[in-house]
Structure 1
Amino acid sequence: MTDQGKDLSELRRHTFGNSVDRYVLKKLVQKIFKKCRCRKIRGRESHATDENSEPKTSASRICPGHERALDIHKTVHDLDVREEGISTLMCYLELHPYEWVENLQPVYATCKLQCYGGPAQLQAVAKKCPPVAVAIAKQKMEGETFSYRSSVEFDIIELSDSMGWDSGPVKRELRLLQWNLQPGGASKTGVMVEFSDLTFHFRSPGDLTEDEMDGVIDFLHHRVVKQEKTELFQLDLLHSSLKSAAHRNYWMCCDEANMAKSDKLRGFIEDYFENDKSVEMRMSEAEENSLEDSTSRDLGQLVLDIRQFINLYGHEHSLNGRVIARVFHGIASPCFPSLTWGRVRRFWRCHLGVDFNSILKIATKELIGLR
């Protein structure tokens, strides 16, 4: 059989499935660097005075950093990015010289406290446990009433940060509410404490200026784009190199090794690992060639399918260019799983032969034209 390159298209799907658009990165950055009141509390100058200043390290910022948590399930579906992809982006921020983020172990951030003794017991617990008292006070300020309630539910990370405490000691104190410790042993108090909702757990400053926020987004976007281009180039280069050293058919193989092809493959491997500049030059040449190839194709059917897809699903789903490109290439995402969308055989994997980024650009253009 002759090579058809179908395995190459399948492998590319893994790279495109990990890519993230700039506007998604902006949403993630806004979630991570939630605004705080440190500058106002410390009586420093407003953000406007620092607009033209250099970004600060964690040691020189006014804000020392706050303990934050993002619900993993909610964040994954809000951004339509896999959990491991978000973790990777947060690692990029942690390893940056400006130390924008300090990643911590994932934790359960929602605390539900239930008193089987009724509202009176809840009030008694609040009197001896400051975190519970603060949680009740915050909810009362929002209009909640606790006259007949025997339970309270709150975000323990947000509560701890508002009190200036670490969440670890607060959790330990809440757990101890379940037990009555006495010299003779421990007995249950009738209070049940449950923790739920696993979260991304980290520490980040909340006084970043607008320029600093844009710098964070630019940094992440550059890393994502560079990673995608590098992976695609390495995959294409490996495919073409192995193809050049392989026999066209299995019956053409012989008992003796073909030293000419072996030397050619060895030369490629040495050049690949020892000459970085050569790799970068070939990457730029490959980008130019792929652009020429994509513009020379007849994309009329692709445009027609994009318009039909938008008309059918644009009202019930939040569509963008990457979503449409993923469906046309059969790439699953948290909000568009293959188990569901694979049943839409009219569009799922219908344009594997067209460059992914070409579909993305055309689909984005069609969506903008409808707004």
Structure 2
Amino acid sequence: MSGRLRVVVATVAFGMGLDKADVRAVIHYSLARSFESYVQEIGRAGRDGSTSHCHVFLHPQNQDACELRRHTYSNSVDRVTLKKLLSAVFAPCKCVQLATGEWSTAQTAVGERGESTGPVCGGHERALPMDSTVQWLDIREEGIATLLSYLELCPESWVENLHPVYASCVLKCYGGPRQLQALAKKCPPVGVVIARQKLEGKTFSDCSQIEFMVVDICDLMGWDSGTVKRELKSLQWESGPNGFRKTGVLVEFSDLAFHFRSRGDLSDTEMDGVLDFLNGRAQRQERTELRQLDMLAEALNSVSHKNFWMCCDTADEERSNKLKKKLVDFFDTDGAEDAIGRGGDVEASSSQGARGEQRDEASLAQLRGDIRNFISIYGQEHSLTGRAIARILHGIASPCFPADVWGRVRRFWRAHLHTDFNIVLKEATNLIVAMR
């Protein structure tokens, strides 16, 4: 900041919060992820209005674009996984049964004349423990949060996201089973937990602790989870003549969870509609990111020199102005929407240069052989999907297949990085089905 250093080497995140107007150059070691990222990063130079220079080093075989696609595919999700998530988000409830006296999966209640009276279910407070959900779906925590946000931001507002909460509660009574029975009589949530677990066959004659999911009990009682937690926490203290003292009850909350409110009476048709919406939104995001990456790579390659020494002494104003025009055109024509419109399907959005000779039979035979070997070696001890195999062959980590473990499997990790991801995904899925 004082000007004593001439060169700083850092990641792209450096400088976002720095107000230094006299940066004279920005040098990119590799390709940026999108036009927006590129403009933001070069925008750190020349804020004082004086001439500055921005350089980008591009890989001659476009391998930097292949590396960046890995980031997009690490966040992608398939339709089957989305269906599993929605089955948990919109778990069936008994609102229609309670309202009509008999079970029905219809969305709306029907009046005496047969007219629709609107949805019966007003929404239930639900919680999905983060750690177990991440492992179950093999999606990172931020990916699941993004999908829940899509459901909330859609016009139908299927989900109302709430602040994350601790979903699990353990209540221990150091006074033994008698103290636990006494708590059940004066604390409704404890009584409901014991009654519910008794229906499941558990006995409490010699039990001095209980463990339960807080939000499930709150939904069963119709209470707010904050109220229930305060009620449970208050059990640890009691007031006396000399102030507050401990009661011998320990209440511990754990398992941070996604917290939201959702209906539980969606019909099969509605569930299909939600699934179509969520899958379409996820595919749209993937296509946009891939297309924007290809568009930026094409724009930079169109004005690039074959070697750095050709532009290291004198700036080529003609090429610079050509790139500036491409940037202006992108933002003036709403480049993101244009990228979607021209992106086609997901496979078509990958650059042609990276796929030059992938479809020949020799390459496909090698790919299929590696996939068969992988399934034969790891198929018994791991729950494999086509996407999981494709990620490993591209060197993409996931919660169930972390890089620090699978990166040691040199035979398969990144073995087909330069093969189009969707080709690997398709072949892996077909072979998993064929080998079952």
| Shared fold per TM-score greater than 0.5 | yes
Matched residues in 2 for 1:288 and 1:90: separation?
26
Q: What is the letter of the counterpart of residue 99 of structure 2?
A: R
Q: What is the letter of the counterpart of residue 409 of structure 2?
A: V
Partner of 2:344, secondary structure, is helix
Matched residues in 1 for 2:351 and 2:431: separation?
22
Equivalent position of 1:287 in the other structure: 348
CA displacement, residues 303-353 of structure 1 (integer Å, 9 cap, x when unaligned): 111111111111111111111110100000000011111111000000111
Partner of 1:110, secondary structure, is strand
Q: Which residue of 346, 351, 354 maps to 2:411?
A: 346
Equivalent position of 2:126 in the other structure: 68
Partner of 1:77, secondary structure, is helix
Q: Counterparts in 2 of 1:252-267, with a 5 A limit?
A: 252-267=310-325
Q: Which residue of 386, 393, 396 maps to 1:328?
A: 393
* 1:21 maps to 2:21: no
Give the direction of change, closer, same or farther, for the CA distance of 1:153–1:27 in structure 2 (3 Å limit). Answer: same
CA displacement, residues 172-223 of structure 1 (integer Å, 9 cap, x when unaligned): 0110100012364211111111111111110000000000001111011101
Matched residues in 1 for 2:189 and 2:91: separation?
22
Mapped contact 1:2–1:248 kept (Cα < 8 A): no
* 1:304 maps to 2:369: yes
Equivalent position of 2:229 in the other structure: 171
Note the aligned Cα RMSD (angstroms): 2.2
Q: Which residue of 348, 359, 364 maps to 2:424?
A: 359
Equivalent position of 1:221 in the other structure: 279
With 132-141 and 4-13 compared, the bigger mean Cα shift is at 4-13
Mapped contact 2:139–2:399 kept (Cα < 8 A): yes
Mapped contact 1:50–1:209 kept (Cα < 8 A): no
Shift of residue 138, structure 1, vs aligned partner: 0.8
CA displacement, residues 114-170 of structure 1 (integer Å, 9 cap, x when unaligned): 111111111111111111011011111111111111111111110111011111111
Matched residues in 1 for 2:70 and 2:388: separation?
13
CA displacement, residues 74-126 of structure 1 (integer Å, 9 cap, x when unaligned): 11001000000000000000001111000011111111111111111111111
TM-score, with structure 1 as normaliser: 0.92
Shift of residue 245, structure 1, vs aligned partner: 2.0
Aligned residues: 364
Q: What is the letter of the counterpart of residue 64 of structure 1?
A: G
Between the aligned residues of both structures, percent identity stands at 56
Give the direction of change, closer, same or farther, for the CA distance of 1:123–1:316 in structure 2 (3 Å limit). Answer: same
Equivalent position of 2:100 in the other structure: 43
Mapped contact 1:272–1:279 kept (Cα < 8 A): no
Equivalent position of 2:160 in the other structure: 102
Matched residues in 2 for 1:2 and 1:333: separation?
27
Q: What is the letter of the counterpart of residue 204 of structure 1?
A: S
Q: What is the letter of the counterpart of residue 348 of structure 1?
A: W
TM-score, with structure 2 as normaliser: 0.79
Matched residues in 1 for 2:339 and 2:213: separation?
49
Give the direction of change, closer, same or farther, for the CA distance of 1:278–1:223 in structure 2 (3 Å limit). Answer: closer
Shift of residue 273, structure 1, vs aligned partner: 1.4
Mapped contact 1:67–1:203 kept (Cα < 8 A): yes
Shift of residue 265, structure 1, vs aligned partner: 0.6
CA displacement, residues 271-327 of structure 1 (integer Å, 9 cap, x when unaligned): 211224754454239928868855357322111111111111111111111111101
Q: Which structure is higher in RCO with an 8 Å CA cutoff and minimum separation 6? A: 1
Partner of 2:100, secondary structure, is coil
